[in-house]
Structure 1
């Protein structure tokens, strides 16, 4: 029986989203603590990548 590509890589995709989420939260916290618009905008960009 053949497994679809989506089912085969579901765990890897979840791991990638988890890593992206951790980095996004770290950038938001770092951006707020240092008043860095660059970090905040990159965190926003990461968020839109997750939505795609």
Structure 2
């Protein structure tokens, strides 16, 4: 049987992880939008031989 304090920590941990995933998802969308907007400026990097 779980104590009331444990239930609160589980909920807090769940919300912290969920918030982190939302921030990660949104920031990745912003990076992709930035790359799409400035594609011509970055396309020269694709021509560099490795």
Structure 2 unaligned blocks of 5 or more: 39-50
Following TM superposition, the consecutive aligned residue runs of length 4 or more in structure 1 with deviations greater than 3 angstroms are 4-8
Structure 1 unaligned blocks of 5 or more: 36-52
Equivalence map 1:1-52=2 (5 Å): 1=3, 3=5, 6-35=9-38
Number of matched pairs: 35
Greater Cα radius of gyration, structure 1 or 2: 2
- How high is the TM-score relative to the length of structure 2? 0.55
CA RMSD of aligned residues (A): 1.7
